[in-house]
Structure 1
Amino acid sequence: MRNEVRRLRAARGLSQQALGVALGVSRQTVNAIEQDRYDPSLPLAIRIARHFGLTVEEIFHVDDA
């Protein structure tokens, strides 16, 4: 699964630490999501989407292949 978290975070001038604090997760979790090493739980994906004012589908893209 690909995602837009890094692009969205950078566009708002947020550090991984600041985004993690806002979402209630560690900086390492934010980094793992951005690196596509970790797929967030549904509740976390929803918190990310709400934080950026987008839908989950606008941030996370399932690779069909």
Structure 2
Amino acid sequence: MDDTNSRIPGKTAHPNPRRATVMNCPYCTSENLFPDMETDNAWQCRDCCRVFSVKLHGHIDRGV
């Protein structure tokens, strides 16, 4: 069994309060996500090997 993920710092390492919290990878829907230490505010998906970030641009007017 490959223990690569257990040897790499996880979600609790180097907390960044500006990093948007995501539950699933937008590419493969995996939950195997870890903060990317090389790219500020980005996440690593350890299943599909992508690094991505999420940005909130604001809210739309619902007309209510």
Q: What is the TM-score when the length of structure 1 is the normalising length?
A: 0.23
- Larger relative contact order (Cα-Cα within 8 Å, sequence gap ≥ 6): 1
Structure (1 or 2) with the greater helix fraction: 1
Structure (1 or 2) with the greater strand fraction: 2
Q: What is the TM-score when the length of structure 2 is the normalising length?
A: 0.23
